């Protein structure tokens, strides 16, 4: 009998999850565990690589147990992961030489400033599609090689392995037999030439990274080796979390886009087989590469504070007890009564990239209530995402026809309606919003024959609700103008 089940490993920033899907794309069982975050200095964030592996392995076994499945029942395993987080381990023993440096970590800011002063930033962007920023893996890897005794010489001797989280999981799942990654994760390292589809020797020289420690880059949907556990099931799909969500939302046509409303918001638009260089401060990235097909590219914009704004209302201002209370509170007033909230608590991401911006609430009067502030907080998420869409439309020249949404805050109907109003296009929420894990499962299923092609996957995507724009374009334009005015007052505050 054909194998009908796929195991998706979803390794995130604060927790590891595992979901078993059947051949209809339905979740059969899941498990999740959080792990410790380390903050050794201000702006530094680290994970214990062994915690990442232990929690991911445990939830995989737990989900399989809940589904009453064994490894022999799996058609394949898919991996999706927090991106840019950087790990280095010994090739012989598998022992990490340092804690993982997390994507949010800012310790390499001065190193980036130095490279900027050397005039390398533009060349790096042209090769990688990324900004020269501590966000990405290359500068973190350089730091580890410089700060761990003997690391650089050991790396030059071929004794060390570098990897993002996907590579670390593949290594452990295969008992050290496979050291590999996929193009989507490789394209987030500052070391990978997205045009040539290979590690770039000049970039490796600039960042001081020996080629010997790099993983092999394999197609996102293909053979990554057999698991030593789970009955030897094949790892058959790998993609960074936002790329997997784009695949899970079946954005297979050029110009289709998705927005994930999590702690932050990540908006990606699939732009076809040629990379588009952004003129509006977005990132150009590899979306995925499936077996026998050319690479697909995407434009990406990041909002630092999405659902985190709602968490701030709950934990900082204590206006609400649970995140779900934000919607009825905001809906209790017809509008914000002129209040604008700019949630630049950690600076502004795309398209502004202003690390000195800080949060601001403007337009307050004696008549302002908690409900007005709650509504302004929700609307700020939509305003930031609308700015990204404007930048994407300008870069790609592709008029957006609809926006597919997922993530926790996508379940907020008031937010989704306001998003549709600002964009002037339908906002579509699918029935299955677990699109990150689902995308990893789809990539694995495509490689193992569970799905014949992308068309078969597209047929599984089903709509939960469509939010049609109800605001005039003139009103939406006016509101965006007021938002930009508020943003201008938040910029540069921490200089």
Do 368 and 319 contact (CB within 8 A), yes or no?
A: no
* Integer angstrom CA distances of residue 222 from 10, 78, 85, 219, 438: 18, 10, 23, 6, 16
Maximum alpha-carbon separation in the chain: 70
Q: Is the pTM of this model over 0.85?
A: yes
- The binding site for ADP comprises 13, 17, 263, 307, 408, 412
What's residue 369's pLDDT?
94
Give residue-wise pLDDT tens across range 77-97. 999 999 999 999 999 999 999
Closest CA to 370 of 404, 420, 332: 332
- The binding site for glycerol comprises 83-84, 135, 241-242
Report the C-alpha gap between 365 and 88 in whole angstroms.
53
- The binding site for sn-glycerol 3-phosphate comprises 13, 83-84, 135, 241
What's residue 20's pLDDT?
95
For residue 435, the cross-strand partners are none
Do 415 and 377 contact (CB within 8 A), yes or no?
A: no
Tokens of 444: 């694995």
Q: Which residues of the chain have pLDDT under 50?
A: none
Q: Which helix or strand (DSSP H or E) is residue 46 part of?
A: strand 46-47
What's residue 357's pLDDT?
85
What's residue 7's pLDDT?
96
Tokens of 37: 């975050």
- The binding site for ATP comprises 13-15, 263, 307, 311, 408
- The binding site comprises 13-15, 17, 83-84, 135, 241-242, 263, 307, 311, 408, 412
What's residue 294's pLDDT?
84
What's residue 2's pLDDT?
59
What's residue 138's pLDDT?
95
DSSP string across 416-464:
HHHHHHHHTS-EEEES---HHHHHHHHHHHHHHTSSSSHHHHHTT--EE
Report the C-alpha gap between 192 and 128 in whole angstroms.
6
């Amino acid at each position: 009998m054909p194998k009908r089940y796929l195991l998706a490993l979803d390794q995130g920033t604060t927790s590891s999850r595992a979901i078993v899907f059947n051949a209809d794309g339905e979740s059969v069982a899941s498990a999740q565990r959080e792990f410790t975050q380390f903050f050794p200095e201000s702006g530094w964030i680290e994970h214990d690589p062994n915690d990442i592996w232990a929690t991911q392995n445990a939830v995989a076994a737990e989900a399989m147990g809940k589904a009453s499945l064994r490894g022999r029942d799996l058609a394949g395993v898919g991996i999706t992961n927090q991106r840019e987080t950087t790990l280095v381990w010994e090739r012989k023993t598998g022992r990490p030489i340092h804690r993982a440096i997390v994507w949010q970590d800012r310790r390499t800011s001065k190193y980036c400033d130095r490279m900027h002063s050397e005039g390398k930033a533009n060349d790096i962007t042209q090769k990688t599609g990324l900004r020269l920023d501590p966000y990405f893996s290359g500068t973190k890897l350089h730091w580890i090689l410089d700060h761990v005794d003997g690391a650089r010489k050991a790396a030059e001797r071929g004794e060390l392995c570098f990897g993002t989280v996907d590579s670390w999981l593949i290594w452990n799942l295969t008992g050290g037999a496979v050291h590999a990654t996929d193009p989507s994760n490789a394209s987030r390292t500052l070391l990978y030439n997205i045009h040539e589809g290979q590690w770039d020797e000049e970039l490796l020289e600039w960042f001081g990274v020996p080629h010997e420690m790099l993983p092999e880059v394999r197609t996102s949907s293909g053979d990554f080796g057999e698991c030593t556990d789970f009955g030897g099931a094949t790892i058959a799909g790998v993609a960074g979390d936002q790329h997997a969500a784009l695949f899970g939302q079946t954005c297979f046509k050029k110009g289709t886009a998705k927005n994930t409303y999590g702690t932050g918001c990540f908006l990606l638009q699939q732009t076809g087989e040629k990379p588009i260089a952004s003129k509006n401060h977005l990132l150009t990235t590899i979306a995925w590469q499936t077996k026998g097909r050319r690479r697909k590219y995407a434009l990406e914009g990041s909002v630092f504070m999405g659902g985190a704004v709602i968490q701030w209302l709950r934990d900082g201002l204590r206006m609400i007890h649970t995140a779900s209370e934000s919607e009825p509170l905001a809906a209790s007033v017809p509008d914000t009564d002129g209040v604008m909230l700019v949630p630049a608590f950690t600076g502004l991401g795309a398209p502004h990239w202003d690390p000195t911006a800080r949060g601001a609430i403007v337009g307050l009067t004696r008549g302002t209530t908690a409900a007005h502030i709650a509504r302004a907080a929700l609307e700020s998420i939509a305003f930031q995402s609308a700015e990204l869409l404007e930048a994407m439309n300008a870069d790609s020249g592709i008029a957006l026809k609809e926006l597919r949404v997922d993530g926790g805050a996508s379940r907020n109907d008031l937010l989704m309606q306001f998003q549709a109003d600002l964009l002037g296009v339908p906002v579509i929420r699918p029935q299955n919003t677990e699109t990150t894990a689902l995308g990893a499962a789809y990539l694995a299923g495509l490689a193992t024959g569970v799905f014949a092609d992308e068309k078969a996957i597209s047929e599984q995507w089903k709509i939960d609700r469509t939010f049609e724009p109800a605001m005039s374009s003139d009103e939406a334009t006016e509101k965006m103008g007021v938002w930009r005015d508020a943003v201008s007052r938040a910029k540069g505050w921490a200089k």
